[in-house]
């Protein structure tokens, strides 16, 4: 009997050499992530994906050196959305760069007819800091 050796790919990711998509990675631990979802029924989801990939890989904008990587995740076939993460080496304490990226992403999404209100920024250090025991 021949077994089917194909397996479903649930994410596509691109990170700088030596950087892993983990908040514990030394390049990421003091940074953060922009996270948002794209509905699988979104008509132009392929255009959004393509534009994001070329935009982020093109490195032709201010502060592009802060991008450590990005990934597109479709964890379960039952989910109705793709999760997108853009990993950066700065956190929400760097207001100047954070604001720059918010404006940049808002402008890009507006050109793609995507509602950017769902974009969240997570600070890797505060999101994953050890919880203090209750007194």
Total count of domains within the chain: 1
CATH number, position 17: 3.30.760.10
pTM of the model: 0.83
Residue 29 CA: distances (Å) to CA of 79, 83, 119, 125, 129: 29, 21, 20, 6, 10
C-alpha count within 13 angstroms, C-beta hemisphere, residue 110: 6
pLDDT of 61 reads 84
Residue 47 lies in a domain: yes
Residue 3 lies in a domain: no
Which residues span the domain enclosing 55?
11-126
pLDDT in tens, 78-135: 678 889 999 999 888 889 999 988 888 888 888 888 877 778 888 988 876 555 555 4
Pairing of strands 32-39, 67-73: unpaired
Residue 2 lies in a domain: no
Let me know if 98 is exposed, middle or buried by CB neighbors in 10 A (0-12, 13-18, 19+): buried
pLDDT of 118 reads 78
Any alpha helices (H) in the chain, and if so which ranges? Answer: 45-58, 95-111, 124-127
């Amino acid at each position: 009997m021949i077994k089917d050796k194909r397996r479903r790919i649930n994410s596509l990711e691109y990170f700088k050499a030596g950087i892993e998509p983990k908040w514990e990675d030394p390049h990421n631990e003091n940074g953060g992530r922009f996270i948002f979802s794209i509905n699988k029924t979104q008509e132009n989801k392929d255009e959004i994906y393509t534009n994001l990939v070329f935009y982020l890989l093109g490195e032709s904008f201010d502060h592009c050196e802060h991008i450590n990587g990005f990934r597109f995740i479709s964890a379960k076939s039952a989910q109705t959305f793709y999760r997108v993460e853009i990993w950066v080496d700065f956190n929400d304490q760097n207001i100047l760069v954070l604001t720059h990226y918010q404006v940049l992403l808002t402008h890009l999404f507006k050109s793609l007819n995507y509602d950017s209100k769902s974009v969240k920024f997570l600070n890797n250090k505060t999101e994953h800091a050890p919880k203090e025991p209750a007194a």
